[in-house]
Each structure stands twice: as structure tokens, then as C-alpha cells.
Amino acid sequence: MSLTLQDYYDAIRSNTRHPIAKIEILDKNENVLDEISEDIIDGHIVMNLKNGVRRSASLTLKNNNGNFIPSYRGKLWLDKRIRIYSGLNINGEDFFFSKGIFLISEPQINSNFSDNSCEITLTDKFSLLNGEIAGDLKNTYIIPVGTNIEDAVRSIFQLAGEVKTPIIHPTSETTPYTIIKQPGDTYASLLLDLANMLSWVVYYDKNGYPHFEPPVDENNKNSVWDYSVNEVNYLGSSHRYKFNKVKNSCTVIGDNINGSLVRAEVQDNYIFSPTRVDLIGERQLVITDDLIYNNSLALQRAEYELKNNIILQESVELQSIPLDIINEDDVITIEDNKNGLNRDRFLVKSVNLPLLSNGNMSLECWKIRPIS
């Protein structure tokens, strides 16, 4: 009988669990060449909610037989990639979650008599675009004025050699001017410029697919896990109020179009907001960005920045028994009356996940607050 997600939830509510991990060695087209589980000694995965590089990882593997000495004919070389899975063994069956596809950044072989190991530093697939591993432009790259942004993004991923079909949100927006990048610049800088025009996000997901899309409204997301002092996974938290970071008004000033500045302003005037303007006074954030070329995009950017600055002012650093279901950009709730938390909803901004339960999982989370 195949395990279900409900079986996993039941397992992580218990005091006894059997953490497992495996990796797949992939070729440059991400076909599976080998699967490894018994040789994994240790590992960590770090996930951050931001544009560009979101993931990094490290692995320590047994190397008693020299299987992981880097070689162009071996398991580890420059043309290989690694996919990491973590999960639980439940009633004798393995249940895994993909935690990302990574590039091999730096392997290190250790030979210390009883300790024969391979330590591997891994990096996000975005490193193929930003020049860390690849992605430097060898010729001048030009995106003509009036180019559909969706088409431009698709072309960049194709030229960069992406082997998976990008997930690109449809848009009719076009480039307001010709974009020129010189040799030595990167594909990443092109993608980030285009994303910033729309206040969108660009990144690789846990299955190695590139995304170019608007940010998802966390107010519409369900919680993936409800932490409380009465459940086994919660190991405590620190609740921080960043009063010096609070902004409740945002003005975005964009490009100068025919002598008229593109401009938009939004305020936190939500009647139930504890940071609204009429309660604490106006705390202004002003952003100048020549990439913003119409008032609609300026308004979109202002709303995006105001929302981020409102949720930034209240954060939680949480310690947990490792839960494979939690990723960056997920929503959780926390109940801890001693910490002033009453099933409050938080957006997960970063995760540090140890493999095989070698330590606690650390989360950094921002309080979710509606602004209207």
C-alpha cells in the first residue's frame, strides 16, 4: 500500500520517527544516473525567500571505496548535478520530499585513517545564470524596446541552456526601452531587470524548474503546519519587534516619461492594522526606480514594498524538530502565549534543514498582516 501525505502528517505528530535521505546523481540534462542513500553521513539545506539564488546545501558522504573522488568518468564532475530528498520511513516504506536540484560547487576529499569522506558544497541552479558557475554573456545582449517581457524571459532561459520548461506567468507588458548588456554581464542581470520592472519574482523551485511570476499573496495561503507548545515539533522561539523598520506609507517614483514622472503612493490605512497611519503617524518609504515606466507598475511596486515592510516589523526565529514539508514561502501558525503568539500566521522567509535529524531545524518567519 502506497503512503499518502496524511500518513506523513500522522508520523510527524508522533514521538517516534525514522528520518531518511537520499540523493540522485543527475547528468547535465537532469536524467538520473545513480541513487545514493547508505553513504550519506550528514547534510544541510538552506532555503531563502528572495529573487535569484534561493537554495544552498552541503553533504558529507562516506568515501571508503573512493567512489566519490571527483573524476570525469565518476559520480562527481562538473557536468553532474545532485538532487536531494529528505523524508521519513513510515511502517517500513520510504516517503520523500524533493528539496532541490543543485550544482556541485566544491567537493573535498578527506583521508584521515578512520575518516574517509567526501564533503560537497552545493549551490542553486541560478548559479548557472549569475556567473557563479556559468551565465556570463560573451556577446552584447540586446532586448529591443517594445519586446514582450514574457517572450524575452523565455528567450533568455533558452539561450542560457535551461533543460526544463520555464514556468512563466503570462503578461502583455513590454520593455519600455532597449535593454543592452555588455559581454561579462550575466543572464541573471537581464532576468532580474525584467522581474523588477513588474515587481515579480524569478527563481528555481524545489524540483529544479525556473519561475518568472508575480509573488503569491500569502493571505490566501493555507498553513502547512501549526506549531504550538502542546505539539512535539515545537522547540521554542524568539519573537522580535523591529519598530525601527516599520513603514506604513510607500511612494514609488519611476521613469521620466515625456517630462512627467511616473509615480504612485499607498498607505496602511486598514482599520484593524496596528501600524496604520492614523494610529502611529506616517512612516514613509520612498523608492526611486527608473525601471518603473507607468503608473500601474508603480502602484504594483508600492503595494508590494509596503506589504513587505509591514510584515518585516514582526518576526520569529523558531527551533523545530526537522519537518520536510516546510519550504521558503510557506505559511505556518504559531501558538505560544508566553511569547505573545496566539495562532498567528507567519510567512517562512528562511529554512535551515538538517538531513537525517542531525540537529534542529531553524526557521525565520515574518508576521503576515493584511493592509486592506
CB-neighbour burial class of residue 98 (10 A; exposed 0-12, middle 13-18, buried 19+) = middle
Q: Taking each helix axis from N to C terminus, what angle separates 187-198 and 149-159, rounded to the nearest 10 degrees?
A: 160
User: According to DSSP H, which parts of the chain are helical?
Assistant: 5-12, 149-159, 187-198, 277-280, 295-312
Neighbours of 216 (CB within 10 A): 11
pLDDT at 285: 94
Residues 208, 164: contact at Cβ < 8 Å?
yes
Q: Which CATH architecture has domain 141-213?
A: 3-Layer(bab) Sandwich (3.55)
pLDDT digits (tens, 9 = 90+) for 129-158: 999 999 999 999 999 999 999 999 999 999
pLDDT at 308: 84
pLDDT at 369: 82
Backbone angles phi, psi at 78, to 5 degrees: -65, -20
pLDDT digits (tens, 9 = 90+) for 262-277: 999 999 998 988 889 9
Cα distance between residue 249 and residue 107, in whole Å: 48
Cα distance between residue 295 and residue 292, in whole Å: 8
Given a cut of 70, the residues of the chain with pLDDT beneath it are 1, 371-372
pLDDT at 258: 76
Q: What CATH number should be reported for the domain whose range is 5-123?
A: 2.40.10.10
Which residues have a Cβ under 8 Å from the Cβ of 218 and sit 6 or more positions away?
329, 331, 345, 347, 368
pLDDT at 290: 85
One-letter amino acid at 220 equals N
pLDDT at 21: 97
pLDDT at 45: 98
Domain ranges of the chain: 5-123, 141-213, 218-367
